[in-house]
Structure 1
Amino acid sequence: MVDHIINNTMRVKKMNQELVRETLKDMRQGTKSMVAEATGLSIATCRNILHELLSTGELIQLELEESNGGRPAQIYRYNVDFANIACIIIRAGVTLHSLTYSVVNLSGESLEEGSQQLEQMNEEKIYDLVDRLILKYPRIQAIGIGVPGAVHQGVINTCDIPNLINVNLVAPIQEKLEVEVILDNDMNLTVYGLYQRQGYNERNSLVVTTFIEGSLPGAGIMIDGHIHRGNSRFAGEIAFLPLEMSHDEQFRKLHNRDTFHPLAARGVSSLIAVMNPETIALTGDLLKPGDVELIRNECLKYIPELHMPRLILLENPDDDYMCGLIKMTLESLSYSLQLVEKRR
């Protein structure tokens, strides 16, 4: 009973800390009274939290507020450089694979971006990049990794890069570097980034479907403001629909302009029938100008006009992908951001 009360008290404290933290991020700077008014917490609670965050360096104490006759109030600013995150996107190519990375501060501002192409991709290449970034930016507290495949419990179980199948990227990094690690599917991250960037209503349902040269199709799904991953994080793997053909045959037909549109429309129609989303964004280098309308017409062979969602062409999916990865990695620090500790 005592342990239960202590756990509840600690949980409430962490939630209040996060509320104050996010409020100051949004406000940029503010006084104790301003934070209390914005959060709905008491002055005493805000004072204690502000002092705790100030002692760790997570807040910066600015000059006193100009006095209006009374005692001037202390102004606080959130220290967006208190910690950093690193985000890495793993891409499968026809002849070359690539690693694209971005190191950002707690407000999402970029400190460094880069990419490298590789003839062979394996986990060691990824670990080497992580080590290099951690060495250069010792304040990194979380690593986000996006992969072209399905992930379950930190293990990549299907992937467009065979060398990464059945690889656990999460545990080795966490154990060695003691940082948070986020590993997720590329389409989940892309749809989440699009959702964030476009400011969709929480009740909206959104799907991003991709048709990339050299790969089988996939989809990312948002339902009521949340990514739908499924029981084993397999949701959106539309290449596994019962299309009465092997993956090799499906691959050939998607890469043939004569058979691309009917086959793509079958995947899109399945998503419409199951999800009934408001919008489906199509992307990938297999799509050409005018393909969206052709796919829509094919979908109408299966789906009544009344239930057809808005189909759009997503022209810059890389921006949404990285945005989604950054947002999700920053969110992984919620309730757990502590004083940056020495790793060596």
Structure 2
Amino acid sequence: MNISNTRNLRKINQEKIINALINRDACTKNELSILTGLSLGSVNNIVGDLLKSDQVIESGYAKSTGGRPSKHYELNSNYSKNLCLSIFKNSNRIHLVYRVYNLKDEILMENRIAKPKISIEDIYEILDSVLEKVENIKVIGVSIPGIIKDENVISTGIDDFNEINIIQLLKEKYEQKIIFGNDVNTAAIGFYLDQENYEDICLLFQPANHCAGVGIIVNGRMLKGMNNLAGEVQYLPIDLTDNMEILLNSKEGHEELITRYTQSIIAMLNPQVIGICSTIVDDYSNIKENLNNIFNKEELPELIKIHDLIEYIMWGINLLCKDSLKSNLTITKKTII
């Protein structure tokens, strides 16, 4: 085995130890060996390295069973932190929501700002302020509307943001790792994490006055398509009763749009569950009745009303931040990219 492969294997094994500690308050080395499948010798060496780098700390002793009690080790959850920012547009306002998470997903700081218009300076101001106050932020994750292609964000629907390369600007300005995600896709990740019994899910977001977007996860994997166009329902050849702009001006119009989009999702993907977020339609009974007239009852997925899309967005972008630091990604209920 060459040096590069040895280093990579060591990093992977370190991640196994860290992941085991993320899910438990504290472990002995024997327990870590059982949880990770690593030999006790490997665990001893890796824990020693993690103690030196301050990623792991000692936390007392396990209960004695007659012999010398074993030491407990736990994750230093503040060794690495993620700064997550959601740029979210609905109606005529842009919502800037930011949080700092530690390795155990604890929220250390958060705030929400709503403005009719934003500029790149608003983004700088938020990031600079948080970075000045909080140490050990390793990753900055940004969720934004639009299509992300070749590190460019297009069709954001936000004034002036289609004219700049926001990803490049942030990477040039900040030393932290920069992660970007489409807002509906990151929300779909958060929604997926909340659905313990489903592996095939879709999330439909119908804004008040813009075209809808869909996030798709099939068999636990995010479906983005060749050019990240998967879920851009604006391109569907749907037969509507009126012009899109007119339909967006009424509750009945929103119900028609959601029904048509949901019908297309069921016909093409047939997911187990569809989460629907709409600020205009409060009751989905008409939509369900319309779908019952099209599909057999057993063909219909569960429809779940989503009240707070931003919460799911924050969960999703935080997960992408955590996964960006891993060298050997495995798609699980906690890992979707």
TM-score calculated relative to the size of structure 1 = 0.87
SS in 2 for 1:163: coil
Match 1:100 to one of 97, 102, 108: 97
- 2:285 matched to which residue of 1? 293
What's 1:30 paired with?
Answer: 27
Corresponding residue of 1:340: none
| CA–CA separation in structure 2 for the residues paired with 1:280 and 1:96 | 26
CA distance in 2, matches of 1:255, 1:240: 20
2:26 touches 2:72 (CA, 8 Å); kept in 1? yes
Q: Alpha carbon RMSD of aligned pairs, Å?
A: 2.2
Cα distance in 2 between the residues matched to 1:49 and 1:265: 54
Assess if the C-alpha contact under 8 Å between 2:251 and 2:281 holds in 1.
Answer: no
Confirm or deny: 8 A CA contact 2:117 2:159 kept in the other structure.
Answer: no
Q: Is the 8 A contact 1:211 1:287 kept in 2?
A: no
1:31 Cα deviation (Å)?
1.4
Deviates more, 1:301-310 or 1:40-49: 301-310
Q: Is the CA contact (8 Å cut-off) linking 2:88 and 2:144 kept in structure 1?
A: yes
Contact 1:84/1:139, CA 8 A, preserved across alignment = yes
Q: Is the 8 A contact 1:156 1:166 kept in 2?
A: no
SS for the counterpart of 1:141 is: strand
Deviation at 1:301, TM superposition (A): 5.1
| Superposed counterparts of 1:93-132, under 5 Å | 93-132=90-129
5+ residue gaps in structure 1? 337-344
8 A Cα contact 1:272 1:308, kept in partner: yes
Aligned pairs (5 A) from 1:145-156: 145-156=142-153
Instruction: Answer 1 or 2: which has greater helix percent.
Output: 1
Write the distance in 2 (CA, Å) between the matches of 1:283 and 1:152.
25
Q: CA deviation at 1:133?
A: 1.1
1:319 Cα deviation after fit: 2.1
- 16, 20, 27: which one aligns with 1:19: 16
Which has the higher mean CA deviation after the structures are superposed, 271-280 or 118-127?
118-127
C-alpha contact 1:262 1:298 (8 A) present in aligned 2: no
Q: Report the 3-state secondary structure (helix = DSSP H, G, I; strand = E; otherwise coil) of the residue aligned with 1:29.
A: coil
- Of 192-201 and 45-54, deviating more is 192-201
Residue 179 (structure 1) shift: 1.4
Give the structure 1 partner of residue 331 of structure 2. none
TM-superposed deviation, 1:66 = 4.8
SS of the residue aligned with 1:98?
A: strand
Aligned to 1:280: 274
Over 3 Å counting, the alpha-carbon distance change for 1:154 and 1:127 in structure 2 is farther
Secondary structure at the aligned position of 2:170 is classed as: helix
- 1:278 Cα deviation after fit: 1.0
Distance 1:256 1:308 in 2: 26
SS of 1:295 mapped into structure 2: helix
- The answer to whether residue 73 in structure 2 is matched with residue 76 in structure 1 is yes
1:166 offset after TM fit, Å? Answer: 5.2
Higher mean Cα deviation, 187-196 or 299-308? 299-308
Could you say if the C-alpha distance between residues 302 and 163 of structure 1 is closer, same or farther in structure 2, counting changes exceeding 3 Å?
Answer: farther
Within 1, Cα distance between the matches of 2:64 and 2:303? Answer: 56
Q: Describe the SS at the equivalent of 1:161.
A: coil
The equivalent residue for 1:331 is 323
User: Quick one: structure 1 residues 255 and 53, their matched pair in 2 at CA, closer, same or farther if it must change by over 3 Å?
Assistant: same
Q: Does 1:174 align with 2:171?
A: yes
Shift of 1:51: 0.7
- Taking structure 2 as the reference length, the TM-score comes to 0.89
Deviates more, 1:49-58 or 1:24-33: 24-33
Over residues 243-296 of structure 1, what are the superposed CA-to-partner deviations in whole Å (9 max), with x where a residue is unaligned? 368xx931321322343333332211111111011111111202122xx22123
Counterpart for residue 220 of structure 1: 215
Question: Number of residues paired by the alignment?
Answer: 327
Q: Aligned partners of 1:251 and 1:109: how far apart in 2?
A: 42
Identity %: 26
Structure 2 residue aligned with 1:40: 37
Question: For residues 162-311 of structure 1, what are the structure 2 equivalents within 5 Å?
Answer: 162-165=159-162, 167-201=164-198, 204-243=199-238, 249-289=243-283, 292-300=284-292, 302-311=294-303
State which of 306, 310, 318 in structure 1 corresponds to 2:310. Answer: 318
Q: Letter of the aligned partner of 1:251 in structure 2?
A: E
User: Per the alignment, in what secondary structure is the counterpart of residue 30 of structure 1?
Assistant: coil
Which segment is superposed worse, 108-117 or 68-77?
68-77
Q: In the alignment, residue 271 of structure 1 is paired with which amino acid?
A: I
Q: Is the 8 A contact 1:95 1:119 kept in 2?
A: yes
- What amino acid does structure 1 have at the position aligned with 2:124? Y
